[in-house]
């Protein structure tokens, strides 16, 4: 089992931020339930204790809405999706959309995902590729094939280029300066971010207008149709194109960049661990060459799924979530005044010695079915928790194992970077160098 080098904060990061009061939490003895900070101009509570987390994110989640600062960060890109709005409305919308993400639906998508991925890999020449770009391209193609009846395909280069522009306009500052435990929060070049976000939204506007201009297809009820129908069913009933773009943008961003991040980091971690790589490759051989029906791939890719989940532990695509208290609250005896921010530092929790043995080690075996029972309910949270938990979690995992297995079946891989990739939070967890991987034909 190798110890994966996880990189250190950039030297240019201000020291004041590096020497953060949170840095002690990765020490073995750390056992505090929370840390209170007045650092961001408002009172913030960083939560570690499972009971506090359960209280704020599940039991009393109605009191904790999306933080205003987070909403402002996302607004130029995502607007105000009906799905992510706080309150009862979003619960109903999630119920309707949830049908597109249940087990039967996922089994149907599997065949399309496999076909789409293998076709895309047919066109991929061996050589050095940025794993992040490759994974983003494949994940968007799968999203389009599974949930949008391929409606995104013709414009996917525009979508990817515009989103790259958005992420490039953000750069990460380390919130916690600790080897292996760096959590970044984004800073912005606002003008560039807004221009790129507008370009992204314009492309989605074209795609939605095209769908609205076509006669309804009786055999089709994909996510795009459903999002349009849900928006039309809102009070007022005559939504603007902008509001429809909000809903579609939320899914396109949430639904491909996250999975792409996991796939890229999984390839990197596997490239550092020959034994795990071989075991994942053996599974890939079985599904690709063993005539396994697409819906049965997950049963044969248990180690690959364990690698994906271990990667989500070490490099969660959403490393920190924030909420804002609407009213005064008492959580586990702590007074949380209205307006306070509560932070769930997922990336740190995933590395705490209190919850994990050898937390910086890539050990996929932790996630094999026979070991899973040892993982605490609140110590592994890559998809969040409570009513806002990721609606696409099963979709994302299914897609990630298909992408990893397909890539391993076609290529030998080795890391081609001079230094280990450094994680950077740019809306989702990305890396400083795109994770260059040498792919050699097998
Ligand atoms: C490995 C892949 C993924 C990860 C790690 C991930 C993670 C997350 C997390 C942590 C949240 C909740 C954020 C919060 O509580 O503030 C979230 C929300 C969401 N995710 Fe995912 N996600 C993934 C894949 C997907 C996919 C494939 C889709 C759709 C196709 C998707 C759609 C969404 C949507 C729409 C929300 C907003 C839900 C709401 O606010 O009610 N995600 N995701």
pLDDT of 116 reads: 96
Three-state DSSP string of 130-158? EHHHHHHHHHHHHHHHHHCCCCCHHHHHH
Please indicate, yes or no, if residue 394 is contained in any of the structural domains.
yes
Structural domain range at position 286: 15-441
pLDDT of 12 reads: 35
CA-nearest residue, atom 6 of ligand 1: 383
The residue to mutate among 83, 251, 390, 430, having the most atoms of ligand 1 within 8 angstroms of its beta carbon, is 390
Please indicate, yes or no, if residue 4 is contained in any of the structural domains.
no
Overall number of domains in the chain: 1
**CATH code of residue 388:** 1.10.630.10
pLDDT band at 8 (very low <50, low <70, confident <90, very high): very low
**Which stretches within 169-318 are classed as H helix?**
190-212, 223-232, 241-271, 274-289, 297-300, 302-314
Q: What is the pLDDT of residues 77-101, one digit of tens each?
A: 888 887 777 777 778 888 888 889 9
Q: What is the DSSP string of 240-267?
A: -HHHHHHHHHHHHHHHHHHHHHHHHHHH
pLDDT band at 424 (very low <50, low <70, confident <90, very high): confident
In degrees rounded to 5, what are phi and psi of residue 327?
-130, 165
Please indicate, yes or no, if residue 307 is contained in any of the structural domains.
yes
Which residues on adjacent β-strands are paired with residue 324?
A: 65, 341
Q: What is the pLDDT of residues 162-191, one digit of tens each?
A: 999 998 887 665 444 333 344 455 667 889
Provide the angle, in degrees to the nearest 10, between the axes of the packed helices 393-410 and 131-147: 120
CA distance 149 to 357: 44
pLDDT of 215 reads: 79
Measured in Å, residue 82 CA sits from the centre of ligand 1 at: 14
User: Which H or E element spans position 47?
Assistant: strand 44-47
Q: What is the DSSP letter of 2?
A: P
pLDDT band at 67 (very low <50, low <70, confident <90, very high): confident
pTM across the whole model = 0.92
pLDDT of 182 reads: 45
Task: Specify the length of the chain in residues.
Answer: 442
Measured in Å, residue 103 CA sits from the centre of ligand 1 at: 17
For residues 26 and 399, the model is more confident at 399
pLDDT of 268 reads: 98
pLDDT of 105 reads: 92
Q: Is the dihedral of CA 102, 103, 108, 111 positive or negative?
A: positive
Percent of the chain at pLDDT exceeding 70: 90
Q: Is 84 in the pocket of ligand 1 (CB under 6 A)?
A: yes
Largest CA distance in the chain: 64
pLDDT band at 69 (very low <50, low <70, confident <90, very high): confident
Predicted confidence (pLDDT) at residue 17 exceeds the cutoff of 70: no
Please indicate, yes or no, if residue 7 is contained in any of the structural domains.
no
- Integer-rounded Cα Rg, in Å, for the chain is 21
Show the CA angle centred on residue 166, arms to residues 139 and 150, nearest 5°: 30
3-state secondary structure of 70: helix
Measured in Å, residue 253 CA sits from the centre of ligand 1 at: 9
Predicted confidence (pLDDT) at residue 267 exceeds the cutoff of 70: yes
- Our measurement of the distance from residue 61's CA atom to the centroid of its chain's CA atoms, rounded to an integer in Å, reads 21
Q: Is 256 in the pocket of ligand 1 (CB under 6 A)?
A: no
Ligand 1 atom, smallest distance to 312 CA: 5
pLDDT of 323 reads: 92
**Mean pLDDT score across all residues of the chain:** 87
Q: What is the DSSP letter of 353?
A: T
For residues 176 and 348, the model is more confident at 348
Strands 329-331 and 44-47: unpaired
The residue to mutate among 71, 113, 254, 255, having the most atoms of ligand 1 within 8 angstroms of its beta carbon, is 254
The residue to mutate among 85, 385, 392, having the most atoms of ligand 1 within 8 angstroms of its beta carbon, is 392
Please indicate, yes or no, if residue 177 is contained in any of the structural domains.
yes
CA-nearest residue, atom 36 of ligand 1: 390
pLDDT band at 11 (very low <50, low <70, confident <90, very high): very low
Please indicate, yes or no, if residue 10 is contained in any of the structural domains.
no
3-state secondary structure of 168: helix
Please indicate, yes or no, if residue 288 is contained in any of the structural domains.
yes
Please indicate, yes or no, if residue 148 is contained in any of the structural domains.
yes
Ligand 1 atom, smallest distance to 400 CA: 1
pLDDT of 111 reads: 93
Q: What is the pLDDT of residues 140-161, one digit of tens each?
A: 999 999 999 999 999 999 999 9
Q: What is the pLDDT of residues 26-57, one digit of tens each?
A: 777 888 899 888 765 688 898 999 999 999 99
Measured in Å, residue 255 CA sits from the centre of ligand 1 at: 7
């Amino acid at each position: 089992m190798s110890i994966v080098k996880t990189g250190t904060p950039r030297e240019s990061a201000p020291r004041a931020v590096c020497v953060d009061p949170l840095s002690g939490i990765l020490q073995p003895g750390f056992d505090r339930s929370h840390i209170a900070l007045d650092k961001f101009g408002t009172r913030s509570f960083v939560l570690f204790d499972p009971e506090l987390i359960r209280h704020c994110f599940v039991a009393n989640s109605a009191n904790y809405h999306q933080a205003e600062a987070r909403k402002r960060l996302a607004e130029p890109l995502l607007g105000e999706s009906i799905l992510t709005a706080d309150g009862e409305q979003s619960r109903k919308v999630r119920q309707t959309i949830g049908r597109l993400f249940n087990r039967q639906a996922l089994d149907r998508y599997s065949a399309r995902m496999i076909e789409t991925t293998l076709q895309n890999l047919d066109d991929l020449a061996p050589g050095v590729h940025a794993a992040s770009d490759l994974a983003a391209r494949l994940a968007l193609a799968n999203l389009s094939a599974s949930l949008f009846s391929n409606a995104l395909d013709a414009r996917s280069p525009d979508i990817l280029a515009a989103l790259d522009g958005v992420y490039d306009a953000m750069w990460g500052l380390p919130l916690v300066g600790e080897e292996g435990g760096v959590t970044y929060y984004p800073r912005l070049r606002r003008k560039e971010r807004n221009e790129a976000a507008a370009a992204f939204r314009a492309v989605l506007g074209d795609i939605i207008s095209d769908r609205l201009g076509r006669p309804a297809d009786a055999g089709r009820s994909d996510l795009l149709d459903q999002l349009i129908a849900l928006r039309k069913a809102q009070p007022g009933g005559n939504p603007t194109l902008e509001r429809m773009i909000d809903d579609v943008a939320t899914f396109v961003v949430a639904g491909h960049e996250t999975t792409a991040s996991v796939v890229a980091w999984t390839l990197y971690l596997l490239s550092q661990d020959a034994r795990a790589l071989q075991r994942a490759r053996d599974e890939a051989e079985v599904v690709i060459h063993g005539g396994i029906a697409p819906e049965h791939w997950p049963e044969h890719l248990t180690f690959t799924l364990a690698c994906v989940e271990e990667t989500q532990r070490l490099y969660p695509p959403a490393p920190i979530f924030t909420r804002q208290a609407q009213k005064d609250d008492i959580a586990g005896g702590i007074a949380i005044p209205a307006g306070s921010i509560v932070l769930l530092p997922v990336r740190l929790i995933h590395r705490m010695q209190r919850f994990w043995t050898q937390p910086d080690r890539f050990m996929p075996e932790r996630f094999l079915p026979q070991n899973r029972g040892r993982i605490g309910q609140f110590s592994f949270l890559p998809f969040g928790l409570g009513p806002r938990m990721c609606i696409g979690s099963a979709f994302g995992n299914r897609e990630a194992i298909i992408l990893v297995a397909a890539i391993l079946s076609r290529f030998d891989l080795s890391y081609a970077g001079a230094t280990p990739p450094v994680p950077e939070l740019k809306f989702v967890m990305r890396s400083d160098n795109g994770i260059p991987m040498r792919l050699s034909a097998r």
